Amino acid sequence: MTFGEPRRAHGRRPAGADDPGIGELLRRSLSHEAGAVEVVPDALGRIRERIDRRRAPRWLPAPGLRVAAVAAVAAAAVAAVVVGLDAGLPHPGTAGLSGTGRVTGGGSSAGRPVPTANLPVYYLGPASSGGRLYREYHRIPVSGASVTARIEAAVGAMLGLPASDPDYRSPWPAGARVARVSVDGPTASVELTGAATNDVDPDTARMALEQLVWTATAASVPAGRSAGLTGVRLRMDGRAVTQLWGVPVPGQPLHRRAAVDVLAPIWVIDPQQGATEGHDVTVNLAGIVPEATMRLRIRAASGAVVSDRSVHLNKGAPQVGMASVKITGLPTGSYIVEGYLVSERDGSQQWADDHRFTVG
């Protein structure tokens, strides 16, 4: 890139230019517009923080479990995950959509198996998706089979385990930890430490609250069941939370807002990001979409479109609809699966969710 070098205003002719006048006007205009753009002061810190969160196993749920769980970390870090749109969707390994089943088993330490559970963890999509929530399943070490252990592990992962899809993120500060979890009737009480301050915008703070509520309540759902706890009380450093990062917290306990307002409307469930598949691939999709209709596209690494089709889900908005599509005979190689909507107004693509996967 020649950023910073003198412009070659009178050098070679610009590609496609047949009018030096408009070229020079464009050059001046772009330079003026770009010159007004300044970067945030702590950008390098933010990049390093995101890198650290990807490589540090800070999400282990409890100090006592950490040593025993170390062997499971590697497995969990590479575990394929299976996602669904809400707690009502089947979990991997249960009836219905079972995903690709590529979740590895629990690890062990000195021959002793480490208990793990395949738990839902919600992440925020990119700002370009309005920061709406996506869900992944991760196999996570747990301290037991109780509801509190499952919530503790899932929220711990939400705070520190990077999403498998690089487009997803968790906005909680790097030092955030789960201090304790308890359950009282239909409500979980979650106490955090190291999460009192953070530098995010109000919308992200509000979505972080939803992320916590959706993760904790989803993790409370026993395998094979569709209902669990419905509320979450959030405490921080020994006190009930009344505001999170400058944003007032509504009355507690907190409850899930409507899915149509919180969740990303298009999800590619399978294949997962980074998955390896056979030559016949089952694509599982979910969405909250009008007319229960969305688009599915498979592209090869070269960009060539292998398949681009309309898919009808079993339910339309505001309900969560699902569909399963079989693609057969894909040659060995790398692919991108994309789910998206087409704007009725201008034909543009909207709400695209994509995963890279390999066949072979």
Residue ranges in contact with other proteins by CB under 8 A: 1-5, 7-8, 14-19, 22-23, 25-35, 37-40, 43-44, 46-48, 50-51, 54, 126-130, 166, 303, 340-341, 343, 348-352, 354
Q: Which is nearer to other proteins, 32 or 326 (CB)?
A: 32
Q: Which is nearer to other proteins, 86 or 338 (CB)?
A: 338
In the complex, minimum distance from the CB of residue 4 to other proteins, in angstroms, rounded to a whole number: 5
In the complex, minimum distance from the CB of residue 59 to other proteins, in angstroms, rounded to a whole number: 18
Q: Which is nearer to other proteins, 7 or 309 (CB)?
A: 7
In the complex, minimum distance from the CB of residue 73 to other proteins, in angstroms, rounded to a whole number: 18
In the complex, minimum distance from the CB of residue 2 to other proteins, in angstroms, rounded to a whole number: 5
Q: Which is nearer to other proteins, 2 or 332 (CB)?
A: 2
- Round to whole Å and give the CA distance between 228 and 77: 27
Burial of 238 from C-beta contacts in 10 A (0-12 / 13-18 / 19+) = exposed
In the complex, minimum distance from the CB of residue 24 to other proteins, in angstroms, rounded to a whole number: 9
In the complex, minimum distance from the CB of residue 131 to other proteins, in angstroms, rounded to a whole number: 8
Which pair of structure tokens corresponds to residue 152?
Answer: 């503790």
- Round to whole Å and give the CA distance between 23 and 21: 5
- Round to whole Å and give the CA distance between 93 and 83: 12
Q: Which is nearer to other proteins, 242 or 343 (CB)?
A: 343
Q: Which is nearer to other proteins, 50 or 235 (CB)?
A: 50
Q: Which is nearer to other proteins, 18 or 110 (CB)?
A: 18
Terminal-residue alpha carbon distance, the chain: 36
In the complex, minimum distance from the CB of residue 321 to other proteins, in angstroms, rounded to a whole number: 18
The H or E element containing residue 148 is helix 147-160
The H or E element containing residue 352 is strand 349-359
Q: Where are the alpha helices (DSSP H) in 220-325?
A: 259-262
SS3 95: coil
Q: What is the DSSP letter of 87?
A: T
Q: Which is nearer to other proteins, 15 or 95 (CB)?
A: 15
Q: Which is nearer to other proteins, 18 or 326 (CB)?
A: 18
SS3 57: coil
CA distances from 255 to 135, 171, 205, 212, 317 (A): 17, 20, 16, 10, 21
- Round to whole Å and give the CA distance between 99 and 269: 7
In the complex, minimum distance from the CB of residue 185 to other proteins, in angstroms, rounded to a whole number: 37
Q: Cβ atoms within 10 A of the Cβ of 189, count?
A: 20
Which of 179, 176, 132, 140 shows the shortest CA–CA distance to 157? 140
In the complex, minimum distance from the CB of residue 337 to other proteins, in angstroms, rounded to a whole number: 14
C-beta separation of 109 from 69 below 8 A: yes
C-beta separation of 219 from 120 below 8 A: yes
